[in-house]
Amino acid sequence: MRFADVIARKRDGQALTRPEIDLFVRGVVDGSVPDYQAAALLMAIVLKGMNGEETAALTEAMVASGDRLDLSAIPGPKVGKHSTGGVGDKVSIIVVPVVAACGVAVPKMSGRSLGHTGGTVDKLESIPGFRVDASIAEFNGLMRDVGAAIVGQSPTLAPADKKIYALRDVTATVESIPLISASIMSKKLAEGSTALVLDVKCGDGAFMKTEQDARVLAQSLVEIGARAGLRTEALITRMDAPIGRAVGNAVEIVECIEVLKGGGSADLVELTMIVATRMLMMSGRYDAGAAGRAVRRAIDSGEALAKLRAIIERQGGDAAVVDDYQRLPGAAHQTVVAAARSGYVLRLGAELVGRAALALGAGRARAGEQIDHGAGVLIAAPVGHKVTAGDPVLHLLSNTASSFDAARAFAERAITIGDTAPPARPILIDICTN
């Protein structure tokens, strides 16, 4: 089989066979398919699409390209969680210890920030000493000892995804629902969970800008899980404004701890409750009412906070940050973005706030760039808040004062103030199940 013929078939809108997809994935991993041919097929997929069977076959081939975690020695259900990425999305760092404190194991492999969206791994690395790298044996040990782990993606799990994503990133082929679906689910299927809850972000700060696109992606992900025998559901949640009051790394860790201490902003607490409750329900051990009560009890009792301490300690971090935020990286410089007029905050554009954080050094425009763990944005006046001209809306934090001009330009464009309060909109848009 000539690989050029495979490219031509997809170029002409034909469905690829399982052997053709296997040839592509194997070839990307072992180098027998050169980058220029792989990129050509990726572009053909973007333009012509893939049906459900093709997408499932691509996912399965990517899973088979590397190791697969076996967590069968860990008793009980193992529920995974994944978010498609958002601005201020620190929910994983909260729900993992909450769900684990409720007796359900949570294996979590997370990514780094890229562009305007933050990465869970980067946030955790702002905790002094915290190790996100773990071998499969170490990951199993973390799951056995703590009942939860949050680590970076293992290079031996779905290695085809890493190579294919690197090509997509530089060939304008990222925005394809079949390719996005296969990328997400290949990693999740290799992770060893018995059930999976996906948080598909929708709106200004998400990759899926419209509800229609978010629904298509959510359904695609759920169908792949069902074909693979993994109990899967996808929540579609709103991502028009940043989640919570902090965007960055150390500042988000503080906010996570505050939620586990019983505080936190209403939107972040609401989303935490929704995701954690659904994860407990997907475990099969809880119905909706019992799950909600268990989540609340885990936070109110301090058990979830204790579980976070255990995760930090077991992964080499300084657990004293839970009580002393001064042990986290800080910012030497701070400036305020004030309200230009009196009224109500109608909009706080998530993508623009994310780009402001990126300009401050809290994220990376390209893989491999260093980030400033102390940099970020604090939100003084969220959407719906009444302000007077001159009141602080955003606080910009950085260790590089020269970054403020670029960050301020994004931040000012993010803010819209009007005369009447905007209508409240629920965070949860829908739930997709198979």
**Active site (annotated) includes residue 309:** no
Q: Which residues contact 180 (CB under 8 A, 6 or more apart)?
A: 84, 174, 207, 217
82: enclosing H helix or E strand: strand 79-83
Residue listed under structure tokens 């996100």: 132
Task: Please report, for residues 28, 49, 148, 166, 239, the alpha-carbon distance to residue 43 in angstroms, rounded to integers and kept in the order given.
Answer: 15, 10, 38, 14, 28
Q: Which of 89, 161, 240, 372 is catalytic?
A: 161
Tokens of 403: 């970054």
Q: Which of 187, 355, 373, 395 is catalytic?
A: 187
Q: Which of 81, 168, 238, 245 is catalytic?
A: 168
Helix (H, G, I), strand (E, B) or coil at 433: strand
Sort 156 into a burial class: Cβ within 10 Å, 0-12 / 13-18 / 19+. Answer: middle
DSSP code at position 145 = H
DSSP code at position 319 = G
Smallest CA-to-CA distance from 259 within 97, 85, 54 is with 97
Tokens of 208: 């899926």
Helix (H, G, I), strand (E, B) or coil at 104: coil
Tokens of 294: 């268990």
**Active site (annotated) includes residue 333:** no
Q: Which of 92, 154, 183, 403 is catalytic?
A: 183
**Active site (annotated) includes residue 231:** no
**Active site (annotated) includes residue 161:** yes
Q: Which of 10, 82, 188, 373 is catalytic?
A: 82
**Active site (annotated) includes residue 78:** no
Catalytic center residues? 82, 161, 168, 183, 187
